[in-house]
Amino acid sequence: MDEEGRPERNREDPLGEPSPRRKRLYFWLMGTCLVLIVLAWNVVRFWSVPAAAVMSIVAALIPPTAAIVANWGKG
């Protein structure tokens, strides 16, 4: 315990470094976001603008979710 009564943090596991599993999940979520945007406005919009808009809305919800996943359980 430190002088303030908190357990000491292990210096080999820095607080700011996410686990490899979280990094991989963040990568896949953000990759999915990019693929959805590119497909929506370069392919799908020729057949259905509403479908492209829905894809964009789903893609807009992914980055906040990815940030939450990447930071889950920190501190």
Reported as a single tens digit per residue, the pLDDT across 5-35 is: 666 655 555 566 778 888 899 999 999 999 9
Helices and strands (DSSP H and E) totals, the chain: 2, 0
User: What is the domain partition of the chain in residue ranges?
Assistant: 20-71
**Three-state secondary-structure class, residue 59:** helix
Tell me the pLDDT of the chain averaged across its residues: 85
Q: How far is the C-alpha of 68 from the C-alpha of 73, rounded, in Å?
A: 9
Task: Give this prediction's pTM.
Answer: 0.70
- pLDDT at position 75, please? 56
